Structures are given as structure tokens and as C-alpha cells.
Amino acid sequence: MKVTKICCIGAGYVGGPTMAVIAKKNPNIKVTIVDINQARIDAWNDPDVSKLPIYEPGLAKIVEETRGKNLFFSTEIDKAINESEMIFISVNTPTKTYGKGKGMAADLKYVELCARNIAEVAKTDKIVVEKSTLPVRTAQAIKSILDNTGSAVKFDILSNPEFLAEGTAIQDLLNPDRVLIGGESEDAIESLATIYGSWVAQEQILRTNVWSSELSKLTANAFLAQRISSINAISELCEKTEANVDEVAKAIGMDSRIGSKFLKSSVGFGGSCFQKDILNLVYIARSYNLQAVADYWEQVIILNDHQKRRFADNLISRLYNTVSGKKIGMLGWAFKKDTNDTRESAAIYVADHLLNEQANIAVYDPKVSNEKMQSDLNYLNTRSEEENSKLVQATETPYEALKDAHAVAIMTEWDEFKTYDWKKIYTDMKKPAFIFDGRNILDKSEMEKIGFEYSSIGQ
């Protein structure tokens, strides 16, 4: 099938950047991104591209070049579905918070709603592409819904998982390690491979069956998260033995069998995918009664939770076992630098732990709003919204967040944090002035020379 019109359902962190790059590289294909959230679509259509709902280096420029030409953002979902030959499903697949599989299984209600909507609206043959991260055999459920519409419309289902790292998503899309397409129909697979082939070499486009494609995504994220938890486990040992985790990571990373990526010790991993996908993997393993497999992968999550709790407990311990009424200045709320995504950010859980100890928290993040911070804390349901609002304040500048603070907690590795006037910050803080560097981005000897009590991870 020659594809001239693409519809993507879901204008989030995956759909937006992916479709923008596809539009840029395929100027003869009309790409329409649809979403039921009017405010989000309005933000995508804002004439000022600095106000896009997603911050990702390089994204604004591509949107500016393609929007209104062959890239469109709309809430007219049915119209876009009906017009398109290829439909990407890129909706949220959160971890279930209710019923069977609560806390582990992926909640597929949004995916099912999409499939039912497509089945209801489609009048011509469609290629339906899973772009959301989904558990193995979800394609079968989508196919079952689509094939039982009672119409003569033919649907081909493909799995095309994303392997993007937030903060480098555009570069990951422009120069992917691989593109994975799983499906049964060779024609449908080649239709999608042709679209990617406009900028990706064919040998980097892997064709598999649907099940392998779906499982590859979960497995890739599980392996990457495992590396982070592994080096974080060693960081605790380093602190007890006077070893330096950065030196250990460099030494083992130079082994070609191991490699250096994802060996940066920190306060813990966050983001929308790692925890969700591992929990999904654990749930799938348990559903097949593979208890040893499930226990193995669940330990990656347990270690990550331990690392966040350990960081907060160390801060409390160093501040003479109490932070009640003390001001803690937090630098960073996003789960990593160069993104405004806060999902599963370590900052949320460390802040929550400190709030349980009655701390007052001032936060500065260059890309995250006070409303988002409050929303993240309120989602935990640990205390009332009024309490969170009273105890946690976002500030306009880092210096405001750290003035009169007893301690600084660095939660995100934003590059700008290294460039601050740390002598001024020291002067304006309560003494002794503590830094808890959850990302190991500052120079320990330099900070101690200024006068700070400096703590880092794994040193």
C-alpha cells in the first residue's frame, strides 16, 4: 500500500516528536496528529514554538519547518482516521491502579478505546501501527477488535516500538540504532519500512514477527534499567569502602563486553518507561508462573526505590536527624536534563519522603512549572493538596530556592547547575551549608574549598 496520509492518535512525548521527524523526512506524506486534549493541541499549534507542550532539543525547529505544510495537529480524530491509510496508536499506557494486575500490569483501556474508534470510523483498508509501549500479544487484542467490526474493511496490525531517550529524542529519531517493525503482512511491513527508509538505511530496519517486536521493547528497557540499578548497588558499597563509583564505572565501562553507557550512578532512574515496562515484564512472567524470572526483574525496581529512599535518609541523617521546619533547596524536578517530563522522577519521591519529616522545600527547575510539581505530589495522595502547596514552592531563580536553605539537593543533571555562583549560594545559606549531589555533577574539592559539607553518590 502506498501511504500518502498518516494519522497518529496521541500527541504526547512519543507521538509528537516521532511524527514531526516522519513529516520532515517525507514531505509528500500528510501527517496529522490527533488528541482529545484540546489544550495540548492548542499548545502544539501555538505560533510561538517555544511554548510547545513538550520540550525536546531540536523539536521546535522541525515543527516550525513542517507545521501547516505536511504536519498538522487536530482534535478531529474521526476525520483523520477516515482519511489516513496508516494509523499510529501512541496513547498513554499507564500501570494499572485498580483490579487484577494493580501496580504492575499495563492499563490498556486507552489502546482499546482507540481500536474501537478506528473500527467504528474506518471505511477503507488501514495499516494500524502500535507505537505505545505495550505488553506482548496486545496486537492480537487490537486485531480481534478490528476484525470483528462486521465491515469488509481489512486491517493489518504492525508493532513499531520506540527506542527514544528523552532529552535526545530528536537525535535518536534522526540517527536510530535500529527501527523495529513486527507484523504478519509483508506488504504492510514494507509500507512502513519505506517511510523510515527515506532516511534510515534498510539494514537498520529489522523485520520480525509481532510478538518479538513487542517483547523487544520491554526487554530493552529492562536491560537498560538493570544497568542503572547495578551501578547504584555498587555505589552504596563504594561509600562504605572509600572506593569511587565514577572510577569503578570508568574501569568496567572500558571492557568492550560491558560498554560505558547507562553506568552513571545517581539518586535513581525515572521516566515513563523503565519502571512501567519492568513491572509489566514482571506481571507477564508471573502470569505464566515464571516466578524466578519475575523475582529477578522485580529486584531492579526494588533497588531503584532503595536508592531514592537512601538518598533522602542520608540527607536527614546528615542534618542532625531532623529536617522539621528546615528549608531544603531542590535543584531539578524533571527526571533527567533536557526534558520537561517529570514522570517517575526521583525528585517526587525524595520530596515526599522529606515532607513526611516536615521539611519545607523550595524547588527550581528551568523547564517544570509549579503546577506540574504540585500535580506530581498530589498524585501520590500522601497528604492534602493544601499541605503540599504550603510546604513545596517553585521559585523563579535558583538563588531564590537556595537562599536561607539548610541544604541543597541536586535532583536533575541540568548543565546550568554547574555554572552557578556557588560562593554566593554558600554565603546566602544557613551554616553549616550542605550539598547532596544526587547526580555527581559538581566538583567535590571545589565545593569543600568554598565551605560546603558535600555528599555525593558512591564516593
3-class state of residue 196 by DSSP? helix
424 is catalytic: no
Q: Which of 24, 56, 114, 162 is catalytic?
A: 162
Using CA atoms, how far residue 58 sits from 70, 196, 397, 406, in Å, is: 18, 19, 25, 38
C-alpha cell at 120: 467504528
C-alpha cell at 157: 496490525
Helix or strand holding residue 362 (H, E): strand 360-364
Contact 392, 355 (CB under 8 A): yes
214 is catalytic: no
C-alpha cell at 94: 499507564
CA distance 224 to 2: 36
Helix or strand holding residue 38 (H, E): helix 38-44
Bond into 161 cis (ω within 30): no
Residue partners of 28: CB distance under 8 A and separation at least 6? 4, 70
Contact 266, 410 (CB under 8 A): no
CA distance 191 to 175: 20
CA distance 119 to 81: 10
Structure letter (DSSP) for residue 459: -
Per DSSP, what are the bridge partners of residue 410? Answer: 331, 437
114 is catalytic: no
Contact 362, 396 (CB under 8 A): no
**Residue-by-residue DSSP string for 303-352:** HHHHHHHHHHHHHHHHTTT--TT-EEEEE--SSSTT----TT-HHHHHHH
Angle at alpha carbon of residue 263, lines to 258 and 266, rounded to 5°: 165
Q: Which of 30, 217, 336, 403 is catalytic?
A: 217
Give the alpha-carbon dihedral of 444, 448, 452, 453, to 10 degrees: 70
Crossing angle (nearest 10°) for helices 138-147 and 109-121: 30
Q: Which of 273, 326, 344, 403 is catalytic?
A: 273
Q: Which sequence positions are flagged as catalytic? A: 162, 217, 273
